[in-house]
Amino acid sequence: MVDNRPDIRPSIRTPRARISGLGPAHHGTREWWMHRVTAVSNVPLVLAFVVIVALMAGRPYPEAVALVSHPLVAILLILGVLSVTNHMRMGLQIVIEDYVHDKGLRIAAVIANNFYCVVVAVACLYAIVRVSLRAFA
């Protein structure tokens, strides 16, 4: 015997929300996918960072500058900073949205999170560019 009854638990979501994949927070899956993409991209970039730091260990400063001034190394470091700080921003925003219940405090925390992550990224990028261009000065 086939049961033709509709689902016993009625949904409060509209048909459009069900089709477009919108959840209760009115977001689609874009943020979820971007967080996973940055997580995957962090794996080779952090491994490259570890290798670069290991290669600089015990070397004098001019040799370390020469290593960072290599275009491939500088690009890998810049990509790593961008990916890691973006992943950090998204992860902290998820925690804030899940655990901060006061709307005003939540908005302030998200703004502070974005500001902090941008400051960290800019400081790291400035250091990489300054050290990598110092070899040419």
The average confidence (pLDDT) of the chain is 87
pLDDT at res. 114: 97
pLDDT at res. 21: 58
Residues 113-135: tens digit of each pLDDT: 999 999 999 999 999 999 998 76
Look up residue 119 and give its two tokens: 């400051």
Tally of domains in the chain:
1
pTM for this prediction: 0.77
Phi-psi region at 57: left, alpha or beta (left = phi > 0; alpha = psi -120 to 50): beta
Is it the case that residue 25 has pLDDT exceeding 80?
no
CATH of residue 115's domain is 1.20.1300.10
Residue 14 lies in a domain: no
Residue 18 lies in a domain: no
The whole domain housing 67 covers 29-134
Residue with tokens 């810049």: 78
